[in-house]
Amino acid sequence: MHFEKITHQNYRMSVMLAIVLSGMVVTLAALLGRGTLRLKAALALDEPTDLTVIALFEDNLPEGVKIQTIDFLRKEPEYYGGKPSYAYHVATSDLSDYFLRLVFNRDTGSWELTHLEPLRGEPAAETQPPQ
């Protein structure tokens, strides 16, 4: 058998290469999986968060439209299954506004979007300042 002597320089380069490659693999896995895990976990929380609203509402948006703001409106007492329902206002990048109601489904153990209503309104008429 023939053994090659490993020099300090070769060993150091091999270790650095292994560290860089493993870091790249871990970073790639984190980028691909973190968002999915967060969205799935957000559906099973005790109370909904903005992430829960995003997870439930994003599928209802047209292609290319993004959520701009999420405003919590109110918590309504005991709705279904002993848990309250939550109302939200969502504004999107296409200047649309929506009213959402989230309710916890005890059968599935997750939050569900039970009410989705686009909000429409007339622009306010310009009023003249008093003279």
What does the block give as tokens for 111?
């939050």
**Any idea where the domains of the chain sit in the sequence?**
43-119
- Per the confidence metrics, is the pTM higher than 0.75? no
Given a cut of 80, is residue 128 above it in pLDDT? no
Given a cut of 90, is residue 89 above it in pLDDT? yes
What does the block give as tokens for 107?
């059968």
The CA-atom distances, in angstroms, between 61 and each of 41, 48, 56, 64 are 21, 19, 10, 8
pLDDT for 31-72, tens place per residue? 776 566 666 777 777 788 888 888 888 888 888 889 999 999
